Amino acid sequence: MSVTYHRLKQLFAWHSMKSAVQSFVAACVVYQQAKPDRSKLPGLLQPLPVPDSAWSVISMDFIEGLPSSQGYNCILVVVDLFSKYAHFLPLKHPFTARSVAQSFISQVYKLHGMPQAIVSDRDKVFTSHFWRELFQLAGVELRMSTAYHSQTDGQTERVNQCVETFLRCFVHACPHQWRQWLDQAEFWYNTNWHSALGRSPFEVLYGHAPRHFGIATSSGTDIPDLDTWLSGWTLMSEVILQHLNRAKQRMKKQADEHRSERQFQIGDLVFVKI
């Protein structure tokens, strides 16, 4: 509108010219159809209702594009929207709706039963006739996100980021071993303090804090297989420590570029900026 007004003002002038141009542009059909809409999304965010109990409403999503590890190259992430407890199920491409459903039955259903509703995006697995018919017969409501409301499945998307970050730190030097550490990633996530819960998903679901698996590997054992496994565990911990120290040094170097070194002695007078 302002561009049209300034162009007309160079040639014409009349009373209430600015308001007249504004009214004309606002009513122009061509303008309404062609001009990109830069306004905020209409309508306020409508959060999903909080479920009444654990594992009554769950969400699902895939993490794809992973390097092959023990034949697996994809992860199905299943999250309970009440306790935030999650399961990470390794999959092999190409998978079908039937194989995904079988994996869900054998690893999630056997522990928590069938949910009342499943929240997901519109992946071809979740929109397939097999998937729809299976859960319709089971009495499960399928709540799929739409193209313009992808935040419906935001809970699982956030968990995906946590899993990817964890695995990236663990297997940075050996990315083809992520399957070996996927179970540890699941335990790590479920035993971490959750800001929305005020405690870990493990404590919400089971009512008590977990016992952690800590073994001192300073001394060897008489069992070769166990000794090799413990040595690999120690080596992986050392690799993670190296990556964390490297990240810390990189962060310090970037921060120091915008800082200057100051040293003070006891008794020096200084100004303190509050």
Structure confidence by residue, pLDDT tens digits, 152-170: 555 666 777 777 777 777 6
Helix ranges (H only) for the chain are 2-9, 17-27, 29-34, 97-104, 110-112, 129-137, 154-170, 178-190, 201-206, 224-256
Half-sphere exposure of 21 (CA within 13 A, CB side): 16
Under a CB-based contact definition with an 8 Å cutoff, are residues 197 and 85 in contact?
no
Average pLDDT of the residues in 211-240: 64
Three-class SS state of 77: strand
The one-letter amino acid code at 266 reads I
| Candidate from 89-93, 198-202, 231-235 with smallest mean pLDDT | 231-235
Of 85 and 234, the structure prediction assigns the larger pLDDT to: 85
Closest to 205 in 3D by CA, of 191, 216, 226: 191
Closest to 53 in 3D by CA, of 78, 26, 85: 85
Q: Please, which residues bridge with residue 59 across strands?
A: 79, 119
Average pLDDT of the residues in 209-228: 67
Average pLDDT of the residues in 218-237: 66
Please report which confidence band the pLDDT of residue 214 belongs to, taking 50, 70 and 90 as the band edges. low
**How far apart, in whole angstroms, are the C-alpha atoms of residue 222 and residue 220?**
7
Is the model's pLDDT at 45 over the cut of 70?
A: no
The reported pLDDT for the residue numbered 171 is: 67
Q: Please, which residues bridge with residue 78 across strands?
A: 60, 87
Structure tokens at 168: 């990236």
Of 63 and 249, the structure prediction assigns the larger pLDDT to: 63
Average pLDDT of the residues in 180-208: 83
Please report which confidence band the pLDDT of residue 75 belongs to, taking 50, 70 and 90 as the band edges. very high
Q: Please, which residues bridge with residue 143 across strands?
A: 119
**How far apart, in whole angstroms, are the C-alpha atoms of residue 188 and residue 182?**
10
Please report which confidence band the pLDDT of residue 44 belongs to, taking 50, 70 and 90 as the band edges. low
**How far apart, in whole angstroms, are the C-alpha atoms of residue 156 and residue 189?**
13
Query: CB atoms < 10 A from the CB of 152, how many?
Result: 19
Under a CB-based contact definition with an 8 Å cutoff, are residues 79 and 108 in contact?
no
Please report which confidence band the pLDDT of residue 11 belongs to, taking 50, 70 and 90 as the band edges. confident
Percent of the chain scoring above 70 in pLDDT: 74
The reported pLDDT for the residue numbered 25 is: 84
> What confidence tens digit (pLDDT) does each residue in 17-41 have?
999 988 988 888 777 767 766 655 4
Half-sphere exposure of 17 (CA within 13 A, CB side): 13
Indicate the pairing of strand 117-120 with strand 57-63.
parallel
The mean pLDDT value of the chain amounts to 79
Of 268 and 160, the structure prediction assigns the larger pLDDT to: 268
Three-class SS state of 35: coil
Average pLDDT of the residues in 107-131: 93
The helix or strand, by DSSP H or E, that contains position 89, with its residue range, turns out to be strand 86-91
Average pLDDT of the residues in 236-259: 64
The reported pLDDT for the residue numbered 42 is: 47
36 preceded by a cis bond (ω within 30 of 0): no
Structure tokens at 246: 């490297």
The reported pLDDT for the residue numbered 177 is: 82
Average pLDDT of the residues in 48-64: 85
